[in-house]
Amino acid sequence: MKVLLRRVPAKDTCHDSGERPIVITGVTRYPLATAERQNFRVDDRTVRLQGFFDIETPPAGSFVWSRDRSVVTISGLTPGIRHRITLSFRDTAGFGNVEVGPDLDHLQRVVITPGRTATLPEPLTVSRDGQLDIAMKTPTWSPHERFGSEDVRALGLALRLITLDRVEGASPPHERH
């Protein structure tokens, strides 16, 4: 993808295009070519959420706030297939990283990009029953403390999308039980 940016006057009579930077959001760079990419919204029927608050559905799209420890399970996948996982967040509360892995005992610290995504460095393997578990441990914050609101929840990150990129040609590691 190529993005070409030019400053142009807002009106025919305006000759100053300004000095402020142009902020681009929503462009994510996926580092690997993929044979297949699947996107799962948090309200998809094949997605099960544990350790999250209720799904919120504003006009801009569904999202869900994590707690300090949360698990996303996607079902109906092909057993034994390996996928590189990218999590996309609506809001990261200013946090710069998240711990993610196949379960809460095997987490890795992953950097959250300026585009509000976090990609696991190693692919995860779909279990024999066609499920893929993605565990997260996140820092938390409280709207009550930060803004004086009546919301006393301890919120983590606002997850909106899970992207699975199928990894070709790699032999899967032994499955954990």
Residue 128 domain-assigned?
yes
Separation CA 31–CA 140 (nearest Å): 29
**Nearby residues of 59 by Cβ (< 8 Å), 6 or more positions away:** none
Token pair 């279990």 in the structure block, residue:
127
pTM to 2 decimals? 0.75
Residue 173 domain-assigned?
no
Write down the pLDDT at residue 109. 96
Residue 120 domain-assigned?
yes
Which stretches of the chain drop beneath a pLDDT of 70?
Answer: 1, 5-35, 169-177
State in Å, rounded, how far the first CA of the chain is from the last one.
41
Write down the pLDDT at residue 16. 54
Task: Give the number of domains in the chain.
Answer: 1
Residue 87 domain-assigned?
yes
Write down the pLDDT at residue 110. 95
Residue 47 domain-assigned?
yes
Q: How many CB atoms lie within 10 A of CB 95?
A: 15
Write down the pLDDT at residue 53. 96
Residue 6 domain-assigned?
no
Domain housing 87: 37-166
Separation CA 173–CA 170 (nearest Å): 9
CATH number of the domain that 55 lies in? 2.60.120.260
Tens digits of residue pLDDT in 13-38: 555 555 666 666 655 555 555 568 99
Q: Are residues 142 and 53 in contact, defined by beta-carbon separation less than 8 angstroms? A: no
